[in-house]
Structure 1
Amino acid sequence: MEQLFAELWKDYTQRLCPSASSVRQLLTEDEPLVNDHIALRTFGLPKCGMARLAAPFIAVGYKPKGRYHFKEKKLYAEHFEHPDPNAPKVFISELQLGLCSTELQTEVRKLVNQVDDDYFADPAFLYQGKPWQLSSEVYHLLNAESEYAGWVAAHGYGANHFTIDINQLEQFVEIAEVNHFLECSGFAINQAGGAVKGNPKVMLEQSATMADKVSVTFSDGDMQVPGGFYEFAKRYLQPDGEIYTGFVEASADKIFESTYNS
């Protein structure tokens, strides 16, 4: 399990969100930062859908816990937890292609059909980027209808974000304090639905940086597009005294927009 997350972190900081290393350094105190969760994106097709992405995590002990629907964005998601409470949660979403235009479905299937089934059977696909050739024209076509589709087409697989658990921090108690500190350090914070998403009543507060712009190689040249971002989470105790481990659809919906172009 440690190796899987180490590879995901390496890919995330080298390819998708290079600024994450600087954020991590700014917020690290005496103890290593705790990663609350990671998030992965995919297309809702049997070859590369939810079950494929979840399999490597289930193989090391993760179990499905929550289900989420994002009607406007045409996404379905689940989150997975490990029996070890210190292990990061895993949030996996997929684009429901049947709800998209015929043109988008056709282009996505063309991408996925470039890849052999065996490719997705090796857990390493989770941190090796996009396995297909893609033109900037097709990227723009997909992105115009679904920013999520454009993102997956451009980047393939990898953690689109890691998440710092701020419950452990001593310097900061509130998410708003973390946001202010990072803004003063030159980082843009996702303002969709407010800089702080959620509240103590729903037992989870979240915020995120806006995604780094990273260079992606398309079949007709390189282009800068939104990559990954860094998230921050504060969890609250439930009435039974246990900390809340789920996710809040309304908040997660806005976190997705961290990869939108500003």
Structure 2
Amino acid sequence: MTLTIEQLLNAMWQDYLALTPDAKPIHQLFADLNQGIVVNDHIALRTFNLEKVSLDKIAKSFIEAGYQTVDDYQFPAKKLFARYFQHPDETLPKVFISELKVEELPQYCQEIIHDLVSQVPEESVSQQGFCYSGRPWSVTKEQYQELASESEYASWLAAHGFRPNHFTVSINHLSSHSNIESINQLLQDKGYTMNTSGGLVKGSPDVLLEQSSTLAKEIEVSFTDGVMKLPGCYYEFALRYPMPNGQLYQGFVAASADKIFESTDTKPSP
């Protein structure tokens, strides 16, 4: 059965909630303050740059639903390439997909990742729901820890597989709050831990985008040789500013996204 784009996005949301204990109460908090309306600015997905599970493969379901490529981004320090996609229907969230440049990691990490991806059935990647299908491989705690020593991104992906890494509340569509500082204060007052890497607010009006995010809470993850408590997913908040033509900026800011990635790190940088 082919899902509509709305059904696909809802299925991704349900999968995300299972890995993000904070998401449902935060969503409800803003729904209660905004007549039930909370608009999602964008969804982010992660993958490796290996042919079988490449960014293009992950994007396929969105492209087929009418999404179009808008822009590319490079994150040299984290060895990532990313691309974002937008739908002509502006009520649908943007989709931000990143991929890890496996060849830039040490050889032992490359071998682990190639081993994991070799376990992915070729036919499953072409399924519409692959982007929220979870972890399609067996992985040990040792493999996870070896990847984590070089790339938090790689270890998160090895542990959780293919699924939304975060959803994003559009502050522009909230009637209850008009600035990101008040959003952050509300969340902190409610006891949520925020990502302070690069500052509580990433970006500025000058770059037409401000972002903040919760820190991913730890959840239990099963490995072939036991269970570990690891960061799951996080919730982001974005405020977009108008460009000279009056339209809201729709892109992303690489320097800010670089710090947002650290919302799933076991030890985010100061």
Are the counterparts in 2 of residues 8 and 127 from structure 1 also a CA contact under 8 Å? Answer: yes
Aligned partner of 1:151 among 156, 166, 169: 156
Aligned partner of 1:4 in structure 2 is: 8
Secondary structure at 2:149 match in 1: helix
| Counterpart selection for 1:22 from 22, 25, 30 | 25
Output the TM-score relative to the length of structure 1. 0.98
Equivalent-residue separation in structure 2 for 1:31 and 1:134 (angstroms): 40
Partner SS state of residue 39, structure 1 = strand
Cα deviation 1:48-99 (Å, max 9, x = unaligned): 0101110000000000101000000000000000011111000000000111
**How far off is 1:145 after superposition?**
0.4
Corresponding position: 1:204 with 2:209:
yes
Other structure's SS at 1:190 match: coil
Q: Is the 8 A contact 2:152 2:266 kept in 1?
A: no
Q: Which runs of 4+ in 1 moved over 4 A?
A: none
Q: Which amino acid aligns with 1:18?
A: P
* Aligned 8 A contact 1:228 1:259 in 2: yes
In structure 2, how many angstroms separate the alpha carbons of the residues matched to 1:122 and 1:212?
29
Deviations, residues 182-228 of structure 1 (Å, cap 9, x unaligned): 01101001001100000111100000000021111100111110110
Please give the residue correspondences for 1:1-262 in structure 2 after superposition, counting only pairs within 5 Å.
1-14=5-18, 16-28=19-31, 29-262=34-267
What is the letter of the counterpart of residue 2 of structure 1? E
Contact 2:41 2:94 in 1 (8 A): yes
Could you tell me whether the CA contact under 8 Å between 1:163 and 1:231 is conserved in 2? Answer: yes
Aligned-residue offset at 1:143:
0.7
Whichever residue aligns with residue 23 of structure 2, its letter is A
Which residue identity does 1:133 align to in structure 2?
A: S
Q: CA deviation at 1:31?
A: 3.8
- For 1:173 and 1:241, how far apart are their aligned partners in 2? 17
Contact conserved, 1:12 with 1:18, CA < 8 A, in 2?
Answer: no
TM-score (norm 2): 0.95
CA deviation after TM superposition for structure 1 residue 171, in Å: 1.9
Structure 1 CA distance for aligned equivalents of residues 195 and 71 of structure 2: 24
Question: What SS does the aligned partner of 1:38 have?
Answer: strand
For 1:232 and 1:189, the matched residues in 2 are separated by: 11
Please give the alpha-carbon distance, in whole angstroms, between the structure 2 residues aligned to 1:6 and 1:65.
23
> Which stretches in structure 1 are left out of the alignment for 5+ residues?
none
Deviation string 1:88-128 (CA, Å, 9 cap, x unpaired) is 00000000011111111110000010122111111222112
Which ranges in structure 2 are unaligned for 5 or more consecutive residues? none
| Partner secondary structure for residue 136 of structure 2 | coil
Paired AA for residue 162 in structure 1: F
- % same residue: 47
* CA deviations over 1:148-182 (Å, ceiling 9, x no partner): 00000000011010000011212211111111110
Supply the AA of the counterpart residue of 1:134: V
SS of 1:133 mapped into structure 2 = coil
Write the letter of the residue equivalent to 2:261.
F
CA contact (8 A) 2:58 2:130 kept: no
> Matches of 1:93 and 1:203 in 2, distance apart?
22
The separation in 1 between residues aligned to 2:179 and 2:86, in whole angstroms, is 25
Q: 1:150 is aligned with what amino acid? A: S
Aligned residue for 2:148, secondary structure, equals: helix
CA root-mean-square deviation:
0.8
Aligned AA (1:224): K
Deviation at 1:18, TM superposition (A): 2.3
Structure 2: distance between partners of 1:180 and 1:67: 32
